[in-house]
Amino acid sequence: MTAKGVDYQAINYLTEPLSVDALKQLLRSAGLRPQDALRTHEEAYREFVAGRGLSHDEIVRIMADHPELIQRPIVARGDKAVLVRPVERLATHVQEGRQALNSSEWTTRCACPDVPKLVSR
């Protein structure tokens, strides 16, 4: 992203887990329900979530405890966030954000360890 002139902060939430409150805020900013941001093919999903009829708060707590369950990347800019799936859309999302702000000082926080590799393609 640096090569594209975008300042960013990459947060690898597998090594720097998000708190329950931070995860709730991120989901609210993206307009997502916890279920919308769950990776359903993970072992932790089958073990802790599948078929249990959990509340949103319970799901968020499990996601915070097992960050491998969080879909990625989630890109946040200001008070808005977007789950960028498929991940190849990230470069387009970054460019649209810069154009919308008409500025090279666009800053994003991205919860994905692979962001620099994806955007520099």
Q: What is the pTM of this model?
A: 0.70
Of 21-30, 32-41, 47-56, 76-85, give the lowest mean pLDDT range.
76-85
CATH class of the domain at 2-119: alpha beta
HSE on the CB side for 14, CA within 13 Å? 8
Residue 43's H or E segment, with its range, is helix 43-48
What are the C-alpha distances in Å from 34 to residues 3, 9, 14, 45?
A: 33, 23, 17, 12
Q: Where are the beta strands (DSSP E) in 3-121?
A: 7-10, 74-77, 80-83, 107-110
> Residue 46 pLDDT > 80, yes or no?
yes
- Could you state, in order of their start, the residue ranges of all structural domains in the chain? 2-119
Q: Provide the pLDDT for residue 43.
A: 97
121 vs 62, more confident: 62
Q: Provide the pLDDT for residue 7.
A: 64
Residue 27's H or E segment, with its range, is helix 20-30
